[in-house]
Amino acid sequence: MYKTEPIFLQPVFQERIWGGEKLHTEFHYEIPSAHTGEAWVISAHSNGPSMIKNGPLAGKTLADAWKEQGGLFNKATSNDEEYPLLVKILDAAEDLSVQVHPNDQFAREVEGVPYGKTECWYVVSAEEGAELVLGHHAKTKEDLAQMVELGEWDQLLRKIKVKAGDFVYVPSGTIHAIGKGIVILETQQSSDITYRVYDYDRIDAEGNKRELHLERSIQVTTVPHQDASVEQTETNIGDLVEKKLVEEQYFTVYHWNLNGKALKDMTKDFLQVSVIDGQAALTIGENTFQIEKGTHFILPNGIGKYSLEGHAEFIVSHV
Ligand code: ZN
């Protein structure tokens, strides 16, 4: 009975010192303040679990569904690990701190949590000249440690310019920071472990600097920086252009551009879908659902064929 409709999810908002108002002005969400940095839009993480909006599971969290209704995700009953992925939209009104995330092994051994954090970003919008940090110029760990200690950020950090529609893949161990003026949709492993390297010496409303984690940052950073090579392919399905942005160990992420009608076949265990522009009708069997920019849902296992009609852009992912 659950397998005839999508699982629509309610975003969870996170206020951040670097956040802004674009989650309201661009996505029309009711945000808690003018410093809203993140909307966790498909999340089973305990720091911000999404609530299910429809169907027999309405009012439960995605984490509940994962635990109690494993069939929706084609999850083996013996597998009690946590929901693997997390999707967020971030509004960087100011620069985010320069940071790095551990891999699974380090996360398990040192932090006692199941997942490290590999992430990737689709740039939804970017102001003129917006740039972000991806990687560094240190040649050895000693080099890295010394440049961090001396605060040689201009020499250390590798900056790149971005525009709307760009895609950035950020494996664990990559030093990174989203720069101001950028709104991204992030698909990542379901983890909240961040080692902060540099925070521009900012202070919060109480006059405190945010904590840095230099030793662990240096431990987990890949040296020298390696640019991940990402091969992108494009497929036409009816009036939908499906561009595969990345396919790797933890997730596969696509951009869909719909201009008309497309009939698709659900072949994955489950699919995470975010509408990032436009509107469309989603039909599964007898049921049609209106979806628009800012709608996020999961297509559960076993729904078979479904159709999309309208003009919309999506970011879609699966494990
Ligand atoms: Zn990150």
**How sure is the predictor about 79, in pLDDT bands with cuts at 50, 70 and 90?**
low
- Catalytic (active site) residue 196: yes
List domains and CATH numbers for the chain: 7-220 (2.60.120.10), 233-318 (2.60.120.10)
Is residue 76 pLDDT above 80, yes or no?
no
Centre of ligand 1 to C-alpha 192, Å, is: 9
Is residue 83 pLDDT above 80, yes or no?
yes
**pLDDT value at residue 78:** 45
Centre of ligand 1 to C-alpha 189, Å, is: 10
Centre of ligand 1 to C-alpha 194, Å, is: 7
**pLDDT value at residue 202:** 87
Centre of ligand 1 to C-alpha 99, Å, is: 6
Lowest mean pLDDT among 103-117, 151-165, 200-214: 200-214
Q: Is 13 exposed, middle or buried (0-12, 13-18, 19+ CB in 10 A)?
A: buried
List Cα–Cα distances, 43 to 159, 226, 274, in angstroms. 29, 29, 12
Centre of ligand 1 to C-alpha 190, Å, is: 12
**pLDDT value at residue 77:** 53
**pLDDT value at residue 47:** 94
100 vs 204, residue with greater confidence: 100
Is residue 1 pLDDT above 50, yes or no?
no
Contact 41, 90 (CB under 8 A): no
Centre of ligand 1 to C-alpha 12, Å, is: 18
Is residue 208 pLDDT above 80, yes or no?
yes
Centre of ligand 1 to C-alpha 220, Å, is: 13
Q: How far apart are CA 158 and CA 279, in angstroms?
A: 37
DSSP β-bridge partners for residue 96: none
Contact 49, 62 (CB under 8 A): yes
pLDDT (tens digit per residue) in 4-28: 799 999 999 999 989 999 999 999 9
- Written as six digits, the tokens of 242 are 């499906």
Lowest mean pLDDT among 28-32, 89-93, 185-189, 201-205: 201-205
CA angle 251, 256, 257 (to 5 degrees): 165
Centre of ligand 1 to C-alpha 101, Å, is: 6
Is residue 82 pLDDT above 90, yes or no?
no
Task: Look over the chain and give the mean of its residue pLDDT values, rounded to a whole number.
Answer: 94
Centre of ligand 1 to C-alpha 225, Å, is: 16
**pLDDT value at residue 58:** 95
**pLDDT value at residue 75:** 81
- pTM score above 0.75: yes
| List 16, 158, 196, 210, catalytic entry | 196
CA angle 143, 218, 47 (to 5 degrees): 155
Centre of ligand 1 to C-alpha 188, Å, is: 9
Contact 4, 301 (CB under 8 A): no
Report DSSP letters for 60-102, one per residue: SBHHHHHHH-GGGGT--TT--PPP-EEEEEEEESSPPPEEE--
